[in-house]
Amino acid sequence: MILKTLQEAIIHFDNPQNCIDYMIRLRWPDGVVRCPTCDSTTATWMPRRRLFQCKAKHPRKQFSVKVGTVFEDSPIALSKWLLVAWMLGNCRNGMSSHEVARTIGITQKSAWFMLHRLREAMKAEPQILTGVVEADEAFVGGKIQNMHKRKRPVGAGFSKRATGGMAKTMILGLLERAGIVQTEIIQNRNKEVLHEIINRSLAADAVLVTDEHHGYKGTKHYHVNVNHGFDGYTVGRYHTNSIENFWSCLKRMLKGTYISVMPKHLAAYATEQAFRFNVRRGFTEQQRHHVALHGIQGRRLTYAELISRV
């Protein structure tokens, strides 16, 4: 069944059997259900309990379609998981946990944990970028002048009117022209840090396009430096406008929807926005939903792990 709208998705996933059938197609495209414990194909379906039972001898013979995914051990109905995944993958500026809590009738704490587990599923494996690749850094954080004096950083270089990257979290973005964007949190933007990430992320024949920051100089790739003070915004066909567009989308999401993001969770929010940016063209809402859930299998994120991030 082709789902085109959120309303159609709500009606379709309201049927528990439709949710189970969807998860089976997602996890086992060949239609053969495999036991998450022993990988056996001898599992049988128990319709009254909506569980599978493996015929092999081992603990935890019975399992649901949630086992082995980011949904495992969640008391929240599968219909709600699939609905929130639809909204998160298709809402341009994200979904706050308060909005999710009001929409599906759970607590805000559960909704916050739920969204982070879905972001874990959205995380894509790093790829080698080719062609023209734009690189740039962004600084994410509140303005020092708006901080309470007890939270305001002190020491050399800090003042009430300080701007720029002071007391903010740095994030590096690499965008393949007409391709995908990848992000990574960095502690500083020294030459050693930037070169290490660029060398393992770019193909040998890729063209690196950056602004005038000195940390990019000396890379082994063919490097085009766009000096915005002298060259304007382009050097021939080279520019950094595409990665700047991504930073605009990311910061609009953080300022407009999530308001206050802790630095230790920033990578997850960047992953969410990178996912939507990478599937913004050529995908229907149903396809975005399917791609967003493609990474649920083999991943777990417990609440203890989430709050202990540093």
Q: What is the pLDDT along the chain (310 residues), one digit of tens a residue?
A: 899 999 999 999 999 999 999 999 999 999 999 999 999 999 999 999 999 999 999 998 999 999 999 999 999 999 999 999 999 999 999 999 999 999 999 999 999 999 999 999 999 999 999 999 999 999 998 777 777 877 777 654 555 555 556 678 999 999 999 899 999 999 999 999 999 999 999 999 999 999 999 999 999 999 999 988 777 888 889 999 999 999 999 999 999 999 889 999 999 999 999 999 999 999 999 999 999 999 999 999 999 999 998 7
Give the relative orientation of helices 285-292 and 108-122 as an angle to the nearest 10 degrees.
90
If asked whether residues 241 and 142 sit together in one domain, one would say yes
Q: What is the DSSP letter of 298?
A: T
> How many structural domains are present in the chain?
2
Instruction: Please tell me the distance from the alpha carbon of residue 241 to that of residue 36, in angstroms, as a whole number.
Output: 45
63: β partners: 52
> Does residue 270 form part of some domain?
no
This prediction's pTM:
0.91
Output Rg (C-alpha) for the chain, integer angstroms.
Answer: 22
So what's the pLDDT on residue 216?
94
Q: Is there a single domain that holds both residue 38 and residue 118?
A: yes
Instruction: Please give the residue range of the domain that contains residue 234.
Output: 132-261
What whole-number distance in Å separates Cα of residue 186 and Cα of residue 270? Answer: 13
Structural domain contains residue 225:
yes
Q: How far apart are CA 128 and CA 302, in angstroms?
A: 30
Rounded to whole angstroms, the Cα distance separating 25 from 87 reads 20
Look at residue 178 in the predicted model and tell me its pLDDT: 86
pLDDT at 156: 43
Nearest to 140 by CA among 276, 236, 255: 255
Shared domain check, 256 and 137? yes
> Quick one: pLDDT at residue 146?
77
Contacts of 261 (CB under 8 A, 6+ apart): 140, 254, 269
CATH number (domain holding residue 193): 3.30.420
Looking at residue 16, its pLDDT comes to 95
Q: Give the integer Cα–Cα distance in Å for 86 and 24.
A: 17
Instruction: For residues 148 and 220, state if they share a domain.
Output: yes
Which of 255-264's residues contact partners 24+ apart within 8 Å by CB, and which partners?
Answer: 256/93, 257/93, 257/94, 257/95, 257/96, 258/94, 258/96, 259/96, 260/142, 261/140, 263/140, 263/141, 263/169, 264/309, 264/310
**Residue 40 domain flag:** yes
In this structure, the number of other CB atoms found within 10 A of the CB of residue 23 comes to 21
In this predicted structure, what is the pLDDT of residue 150?
79
Query: Are 113 and 188 found together in one domain?
Result: no
Tell me the sheet residues that pair with 234.
239
Query: Residue 257 has what DSSP assignment?
Result: I
Q: Are residues 94 and 155 in the same domain?
A: no
- The span from the first CA to the last CA of the chain, in angstroms, equals 43
Least Cα distance to 207 among 116, 134, 282 occurs for 134
